[in-house]
């Protein structure tokens, strides 16, 4: 739901109120509030869902089964979580290697030396493996040490200051009832860009620019009437922005939003949200230094928006819990779509998904080449 300018606004299309600053992106009806927006129907959520699905279908050719399976591979890579996407990340690099270089790389993998050549990076919001082990049962020998190693490999945690400026001290209007739904959209852009660039904060201004490209809430005055709408809008923006798919995939990025909203074990309510928003503010500030003065406004506006969301979030812990629950529903939906695609690929190719991924990467095959070999 986009906010309109203040000049000559027509009345609300549902209740007739004089001030109707929002426009439904699907039916273009002017609306005055969250209540009227929800009351006029599910236009916006349907709009963004259709846009995402259309974007995912753009590479799809109706005819032969091979083409359908190749498209399913691409869509699964788009939707899949980290473990599905990880095996496909190096495909283009692999294709460029000579046979001797591929053999040398395989030797590095077999000896374990390859791991020493890559910088270890894990998002700071990822759950500790020990917590999962505790939930599933007694840890096996060595699992606790592995959990500690994984925790140490996570990217450095941004520090939370002792005092955060309260919302009442900011020179800004009172929060809109639609404000909470900005946060999932912002966090999706944050998680996507960090994953895409492996948390490398030296990539300036590219890293904060990617966040803006994916988060319409930070890019302008876009409003959303639900968490579902906010996350579908971010997914749509990823699909049209022209970026390569980040290692997390759509499902993994939505899961990252859930994890940040819920917070890690032992943290106070909303602490991880505050850390993410402070990190965002820092990234935009650093990005501004790499731009000419006349091009800094989008970054400075986004930085101020992060500061406002930070102040609001510290006073709304119950709302953060609700946003996390709603984001989990979206994650389940995206993960279910990925599972259905995985089944389609396995039926068409006659093998488990992980074996197909391994076969493709080891042989340097594209989707269609792998389908042709299997057929």
pLDDT in tens, 149-198: 444 445 566 678 778 889 988 888 888 999 999 999 999 999 999 999 88
First-to-last CA distance in the chain? 47
**Per the structure block, which two tokens stand in for 231?**
């996350």
Q: Mean pLDDT lowest for which of 14-18, 83-87, 276-280?
A: 83-87
For range 126-141, the mean pLDDT: 46
pLDDT in tens, 352-366: 655 655 555 455 545
Maximum average pLDDT range among 21-25, 141-145, 337-341? 337-341
The answer on pLDDT for 325 being more than 90 is yes
In 3D space, the residue among 306, 305, 279, 302 whose CA is nearest the CA of residue 291 turns out to be 302
DSSP state of 246: P
Maximum average pLDDT range among 91-100, 140-149, 225-234? 225-234
Rounded-to-integer distance, Cα 72 and Cα 50, Å: 18
pLDDT in tens, 33-67: 777 876 776 666 666 666 666 655 554 444 454 55
Residue 257's SS3 state is helix
**Residue 226 pLDDT grade (very low, low, confident, very high; cuts 50, 70, 90):** very high
Backbone phi, psi, residue 22, to 5°: -115, 150
**In degrees to the nearest 10, what's the CA dihedral of 175, 280, 48, 78?**
-160
Rounded-to-integer distance, Cα 182 and Cα 160, Å: 21
Beta strand pairing status for 30-31 and 22-23? antiparallel
């Amino acid at each position: 739901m986009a906010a309109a300018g203040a000049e000559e606004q027509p009345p609300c299309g549902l209740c007739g109120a004089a001030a109707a600053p929002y426009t439904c992106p699907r039916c273009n009806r002017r609306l005055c509030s969250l209540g009227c927006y929800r009351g006029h129907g599910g236009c916006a959520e349907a709009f963004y869902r259709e846009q995402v699905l259309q974007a995912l279908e753009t590479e799809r050719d109706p005819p032969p089964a091979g083409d359908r399976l190749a498209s399913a591979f691409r869509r699964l890579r788009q939707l899949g979580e980290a473990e599905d996407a990880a095996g496909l990340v190096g495909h283009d690099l692999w294709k460029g290697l000579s046979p001797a270089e591929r053999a040398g790389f395989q030797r590095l993998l077999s000896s374990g030396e390859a791991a020493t050549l890559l910088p270890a990076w894990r998002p700071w919001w990822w759950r500790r493996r020990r917590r999962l082990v505790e939930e599933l049962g007694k840890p096996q020998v060595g699992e606790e040490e592995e959990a500690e190693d994984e925790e140490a490999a996570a990217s450095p945690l941004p520090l939370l200051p002792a005092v955060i400026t309260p919302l009442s001290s900011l020179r800004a209007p009172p929060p809109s009832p639609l404000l909470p739904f900005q946060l999932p959209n912002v966090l999706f852009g944050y998680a996507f860009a960090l994953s895409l660039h492996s948390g490398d904060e030296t990539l300036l201004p590219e890293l904060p620019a990617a966040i803006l490209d994916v988060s319409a809430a930070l890019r302008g005055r876009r409003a959303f009437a639900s968490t579902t709408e906010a996350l579908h809008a971010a997914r749509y923006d990823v699909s049209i922005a022209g970026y390569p798919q980040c290692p997390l995939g759509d499902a993994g990025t939505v899961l990252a939003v859930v994890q940040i909203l819920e917070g890690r074990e032992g943290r106070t309510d909303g602490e991880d949200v505050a850390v993410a928003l402070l990190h965002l503010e820092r990234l935009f500030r650093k990005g501004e230094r790499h731009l000419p003065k006349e091009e800094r406004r989008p970054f400075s506006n986004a930085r101020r928006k992060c500061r406002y969301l930070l102040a609001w979030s510290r006073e709304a812990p119950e709302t953060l819990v609700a946003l996390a629950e709603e984001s989990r529903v979206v994650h389940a939906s995206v993960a279910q779509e990925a599972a259905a695609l995985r089944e389609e690929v396995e039926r068409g190719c006659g093998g488990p998904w992980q074996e197909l991924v391994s076969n493709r990467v080891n042989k340097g095959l594209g989707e269609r080449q792998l389908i042709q070999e299997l057929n």
